[in-house]
Amino acid sequence: MMTEMAVAMPLMLAGEQGLFHFPSPDEVRTQPISRAENETEWPFSVDDGILACVWSGGQRVVSFLEGRPADLDNDEPFEPRVVIVTVDPVLLTIGNMTNRDLFSPAASIEERIRLVAPFVTLGQRLCDQPAGARLGHGEL
């Protein structure tokens, strides 16, 4: 009995950070971000969006969702494109194949990694916030 408890306790304490935890939408932490007027190192092809982080598979997963276009009526449906923001070259390229045009053009994968790296760090800090946190601009 004690052995089973000793094995189960770390898994129970891991909660959302556990390897086999499947995140729910209310666990996602978000923060709106936008390109500064004179920013030249913005890695995305749209000027604003939402940076999101959630624990999945025992690790932080950072994503960027494009913002709703200003010229789109509020009653019109909008399905934002999403990309995974990571410094893992395989996940950054193959994992984002369907929405790769959400990234600004880059000369190489190394350049893209350099451009997204600050957003990976920001997103991972976002994951340190309580589950479901919605932060405003510049709060991190």
Q: How confident is the model over 28-61, as pLDDT tens digits?
A: 999 999 998 888 899 999 999 999 999 888 888 9
The separation between CA 78 and the C-alpha centre of its own chain, rounded to angstroms, equals: 19
The pTM is what?
Answer: 0.81
Q: Are 33 and 51 in contact (CB under 8 A)?
A: yes
Measure the N-to-C terminal CA separation of the chain; round to a whole number of Å.
Answer: 44
Q: How confident is the model over 83-99, as pLDDT tens digits?
A: 999 999 999 999 999 99
